[in-house]
């Protein structure tokens, strides 16, 4: 069975009411609530109690419907990302890296939901790396995973001390911390036989990384939705690639995940990534479609329109002109220094013509030969 089959999920009847929207019972209850609110009674105290109860029930119904709508949105976006990049296949063992932050909690939760409704089989195991940061509440994550009945490993390794010892004072820890964490998790994935490593990076993380590389790295690159490690021993996937951070924040709040803040690098000031994130949030507030457009551009790369000589062969570009002559479509051509033009071998009296629809049809397949050609003002 293919990944395309997997991530056009067939919602089972018993799950449909839970995850897909308000069910018949909710509608019946809502009708009863409306009736009660419109009713008239001589017993004012009794009616007040009923109204209070009704308003509470109405609020609960509204909140429940909102949660299901948000969960459905995230499920669809994750499904689309997995389908588009062939992230999960039948028989995969997916190692979900859980840090205790909102992103990894959301990733784990949505993948567990998809596992229940997918027509193919894949397993999920949660893995957390306890880096022995001072004050780290090491009991929180195991308690949550045990309560939810989620298979998991807690890896203990004092990378905190290593990072503190190798990073100069005043420098950020993120890069060194990330490399140490990644190395430990890569090796463990191979050790337990996990075929995919799922990371909680979302769309806004990918955009921030793009601008970090653009502004400070001199490269057009970001976090890819799917990546083969350099040693070709591990496959990384980012199922939240299409998900916006603000939706994750809301989902994590509604689910009341036990969030564990990162006190190692999160407390450092002047982090370039934080500055970029502030910029993206300002853009999103002022221009709601801008980030979506930028992310779409990352999926629509035109190598011939950039300047990477490795990506596109500019050196061997050559003309392939035919015998059709296209005269200048205008009223007149003034030629100056005709002797110099003649020495070069250029015509001293170039011909002109009126608009020729033949070229418009040939170049653009225009359906309207009378359409006035567009002139690029930059040119």
Mean pLDDT of the chain: 81
Whole-number pLDDT of residue 29? 40
Whole-number pLDDT of residue 12? 44
Residues 72 and 20: their CA atoms lie apart, in Å, by 6
Average pLDDT over residues 219-237: 95
Whole-number pLDDT of residue 141? 94
pLDDT of 151 strictly over 70: yes
pLDDT of 122 strictly over 80: yes
* pLDDT grade for 30, boundaries at 50, 70 and 90: very low
Average pLDDT over residues 314-332: 90
pLDDT of 363 strictly over 70: no
pLDDT of 46 strictly over 50: no
Mapping DSSP onto H, E and C, the string for 71-101 reads: HHHHHHHHHHHHHHCCCCCCCCEEEEECCCC
Place of tokens 């940061």: 133
Q: What percent of the chain is predicted at pLDDT more than 70? A: 71
Whole-number pLDDT of residue 136? 83
Three-state DSSP state, 210: helix
Q: What is the pLDDT of residues 289-309, one digit of tens each?
A: 999 999 999 999 999 999 999
Helix (H) or strand (E) holding 129: strand 123-130
Average pLDDT over residues 17-30: 40
* pLDDT grade for 354, boundaries at 50, 70 and 90: confident
Contacting residues for 365 by C-beta, under 8 A, at least 6 apart:
none
* pLDDT grade for 135, boundaries at 50, 70 and 90: confident
pLDDT of 17 strictly over 50: no
Contacting residues for 111 by C-beta, under 8 A, at least 6 apart:
78, 94, 96, 124, 198, 239
Query: Which comes out higher in pLDDT, residue 224 or 15?
Result: 224
* pLDDT grade for 16, boundaries at 50, 70 and 90: very low
Q: What is the pLDDT of residues 157-214, one digit of tens each?
A: 877 777 766 666 656 656 666 677 787 899 999 999 999 999 999 999 999 999 999 9
Give pTM, 2 decimals: 0.74
Cα dihedral 163→166→168→173 (10° resolution)? -30
Whole-number pLDDT of residue 55? 55
Give strand pairing partners of 328.
352
Give backbone dihedrals phi and psi of 329, rounded to 5 degrees, phi first. -95, 90
Two tokens at 28? 């019946």
* pLDDT grade for 376, boundaries at 50, 70 and 90: low
Whole-number pLDDT of residue 139? 92
* pLDDT grade for 31, boundaries at 50, 70 and 90: very low
* pLDDT grade for 152, boundaries at 50, 70 and 90: very high
Average pLDDT over residues 54-71: 77
Q: What is the pLDDT of residues 74-113, one digit of tens each?
A: 999 999 999 999 999 999 999 999 999 999 999 999 999 9
Around Cβ 255, how many Cβ atoms within 10 Å?
14
Whole-number pLDDT of residue 273? 83
Query: Which comes out higher in pLDDT, residue 272 or 220?
Result: 220
Task: Look at residues 186, 166, 170, 163 and name the one whose alpha carbon lies nearest to residue 264.
Answer: 163
Residues 9 and 119: their CA atoms lie apart, in Å, by 7
Whole-number pLDDT of residue 217? 92
Whole-number pLDDT of residue 349? 93
């Amino acid at each position: 069975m293919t990944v395309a089959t997997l991530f056009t999920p067939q919602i089972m009847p018993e799950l449909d009411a839970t995850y897909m929207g308000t069910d018949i019972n909710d509608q019946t209850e809502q009708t009863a609530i409306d009736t009660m609110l419109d009713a008239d009674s001589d017993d004012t105290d009794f009616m007040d109690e009923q109204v209070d109860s009704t308003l509470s029930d109405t609020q609960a119904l509204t909140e429940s419907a909102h949660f299901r709508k948000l969960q459905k949105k995230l499920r669809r976006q994750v499904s689309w990302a997995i389908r588009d990049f062939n992230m999960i296949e039948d028989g995969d063992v997916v190692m979900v890296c859980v840090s205790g932050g909102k992103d990894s909690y959301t990733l784990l939760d949505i993948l567990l939901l998809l596992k229940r409704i997918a027509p193919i089989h894949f397993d999920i195991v949660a893995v957390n790396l306890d880096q022995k940061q001072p004050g780290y509440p090491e009991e929180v994550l195991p308690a949550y995973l045990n309560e939810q009945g989620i298979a998991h490993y807690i890896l203990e390794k004092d990378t905190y001390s290593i990072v503190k010892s190798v990073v100069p004072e005043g420098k950020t820890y993120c890069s060194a911390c990330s490399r140490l964490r990644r190395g430990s998790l890569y090796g463990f994935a191979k050790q337990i036989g996990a075929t995919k490593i799922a990371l909680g990076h979302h769309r806004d993380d990918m955009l921030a990384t793009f601008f970090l590389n653009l502004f400070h790295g001199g490269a057009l690159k970001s976090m890819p939705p799917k990546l083969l490690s350099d040693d070709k021993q591990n496959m990384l996937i980012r199922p939240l690639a299409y998900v916006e951070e603000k939706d994750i924040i809301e989902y994590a709040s509604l689910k009341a995940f036990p969030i564990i803040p990162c006190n190692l690098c999160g407390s450092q000031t002047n982090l370039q990534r934080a500055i970029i994130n502030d910029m993206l949030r300002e853009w999103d507030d002022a221009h709601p479609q801008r980030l979506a457009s930028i992310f779409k551009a990352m999926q629509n790369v035109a190598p011939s329109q950039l300047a990477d000589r490795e990506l596109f062969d500019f050196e061997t570009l050559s003309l392939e002109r035919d015998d059709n002559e296209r005269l200048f479509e205008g009223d007149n051509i003034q030629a100056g220094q005709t002797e110099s033009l003649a020495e070069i071998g250029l015509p001293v009296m170039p011909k002109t013509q009126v608009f020729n629809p033949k070229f418009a049809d040939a170049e653009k397949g225009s359906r309207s030969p009378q359409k006035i050609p567009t002139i690029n003002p930059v040119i």
